[in-house]
Amino acid sequence: MKQFFKVLTRIILIICGGLSLLVALVFLILANLFKASPSDSREGNEALKQIFISLDLPPEKVESNGSYQFEGGGLDFYVTFSDEVINSHPVLKESPNLTKNRLKVYVLNTGDISYHSVEDNLFNHGLSQFLEEEGEKYFQEIGKKSNPSYFILSWRDPESMKKGIAFYEKALTLVDIQDNSAIKRIDTVTVKPGKEAELKQLIQEMDESGLLTQKYQ
């Protein structure tokens, strides 16, 4: 009887060991499936670095662990800036995605890195939406036809985005932004008292600079 239990114990241990190895193997396979290749990560790091350099926002370092998120996909890059760069550029300093000196940039995949993805992660979505709405109002006032199914702000290249950043930073001085991240809603933006005329002038200048355009989404 003792011999029987010894044999049974060995069999159970072998089975448990085999199951543990199988679980570990499955985990490693899944981990690799949800991980960008080293070369893709390096290319992504360099692409983001060059985009920020072209915007006169030179980073100290760009990095990513290359791991795709299990829910929703996508991966995060982290762009580190010096104190000097952050303090001299309100667009960075006031970015909701900035933690200390690191800006988190989320993309669906490394091939999705572009000026659009940088804009989407750098700017406050509440302020961007507010500027679009003010742009629509301006179009209506001057009799320019506006369609809500179109984009109003379109900053998809270095030249227009550099111009856009300058106006965006000016807009930051004209509005109050209520942080709604705790309730997972877009931030609420209101014009500061007495700044209405300046905001209207800002929108007009954005239009004259070619930054208020209408393109299909």
- Contact between residue 56 and residue 161 where contact means Cβ atoms under 8 Å apart: no
Predicted confidence (pLDDT) per residue in 110-166, tens digit = 878 999 889 999 999 999 999 989 988 888 888 776 665 555 566 778 898 999 999
Predicted confidence (pLDDT) per residue in 41-57, tens digit = 888 899 999 999 999 99
Q: Which residue has the tokens 């981990």?
A: 31
What are 61's strand-pairing partners? 80
- Please tell me the number of Cα atoms within 13 Å of 204 on its side-chain side: 8
Residues 6+ away with beta carbon under 8 Å from 35: 66, 67, 68
pLDDT band for 213, please (50, 70, 90 cuts).
confident
- Whole-angstrom distance, CA of residue 167 vs CA of residue 121: 17
Q: Parse the chain into domains and list their residue ranges.
A: 38-122, 125-216
What is the number of H-type helices and E-type strands within the chain?
Answer: 8, 8
C-beta atoms surrounding 184 within 10 Å: 6
